Structure 1
Amino acid sequence: MKTTWNYSRWLLPFFLCMLLSAFSNNAQTLPFRLSKGAGTFRLGVVCGNESCWLDQCSVKKKGQAYTIKDKLWKEGEIKLIVCPLTDSNGFIMEISGERLPEELKLCWAFGACDGADDPAVTDNSIPAASCFHNVFSIEGNAFTTYYGESMKLRTVHGVSPIGSDIRLSDGHKQASPLALFNSGKKTDAPVISALYPWKPQEKLYFCFYQRADYNYFMLPGLFEKEHKTRSK
């Protein structure tokens, strides 16, 4: 019995490490939620008449990087690298792809700014219950979301790739990226969604922040700075 106990005790840390490793590799944190209820950012892909959300695909996470695969883009893969911002509540993201179909489009959506520490999340969607009092101001490839009580109005800003076709959409209709993009703006749960014609080998950047001022041309440099800081 004593020998058996020592053997089991020696194996226990090994099995625990294996279990924790498996849990970590399978953990999915898509879509991306800003802290303090400052919004939810969701990504999808459109290929012809088909579309899917990235949070519904095979996702492998390692550190700050996410590698995403799905039969919709065959043997290709999409890679996301996410870095928190040093100077503001928010994050910057770099998106790249390999072996992707030429007709592929990136869909993105943002909403659910309510200032709550615990958002009403029941699945991987942008929670419609947190979208009711969001007001969006869209200017080209950038936008500002206003939320909160009139005397305590808060804002969050976003910058997307130049050429994004941004529109108001219905947060209740997130069955697929195309369903959301074509849902129309008559709703009590407004979000914004967009399509972007993704060119092969093109790196894309997104940035969401509350206290800063960025333009798209600044994002590659900002990403390199934040990525190096987090990699040290």
Structure 2
Amino acid sequence: MRQGRRALIREKKMERMDEQNTRLIHISHLHPLYLTHIQPQREQLLAHLCHACHLPCTGQAYQCSQCRYFLHPSCARLPQTLRHSAHPDHPLNLHLTPVYVNGTFACNACKQACSGFSFHCSLCQFDLHLPCAALPETLDHPSHPHLMILRNNSMDYICDLCRGECEVSRWIYICTTCDYGGHVGCFASRTRIPKELYELHERADQERNQQEAMYSVHLQQQARMAARNISRMGSINAVMLTSEPNQYVWRH
């Protein structure tokens, strides 16, 4: 299987390590961080979340011994600039905190509210959170012979795997030759892409499907109520017998 092409990156250092890579001085934190083995937590509230991507840390991670501050090794070595095909006109700059006054940003790939590190274009107000920025720009999928390309969805599109609707302006994987594709979560889930990179897409798609199902049920309920009202009004406005046989009047 061909490996997906990663975004073109220009490397710049934001950290210093000792020779054993066990002690890290990172620009995002005042105290030294030490490489530690993190045990997985069964309860989400107890999970050790990476400060950069807000995903749980398990296995090797950098930890501050004084604060509840964690970084994945990969998140600790991020470049300061990123070139991505989803935003080809300008480079994206790494920001350690959101640039917006409310302290959050909406990722342009998955449309989820985020508050960790981001890759940001100040000219276009374009933002990517780290999991979406790490998605491969191309992938092989067992359901299709051609390479799938990561693209922004600009029109109404139905996912060829789950048959659900793809939200406009969110990312999809698509074969442009065959017009075959769909949700990032649907296509990434059957590849070697780590689940944490696409789970926000998957969760957003599930929430959208649930909302559409609830809206469909609501419309069906409204239709049944309208039918009952029509039936009731029909009986009220029906042709009624008057006191004289064989004479009828329409009651309004």
Q: TM-score range by the shorter chain?
A: under 0.3
TM-score normalized with structure 2 length? 0.24
**Higher RCO (Cα < 8 Å, 6 or more apart):** 1
TM-score normalized with structure 1 length? 0.26
Larger Rg: 2
Q: Name the one with the larger strand percent.
A: 1
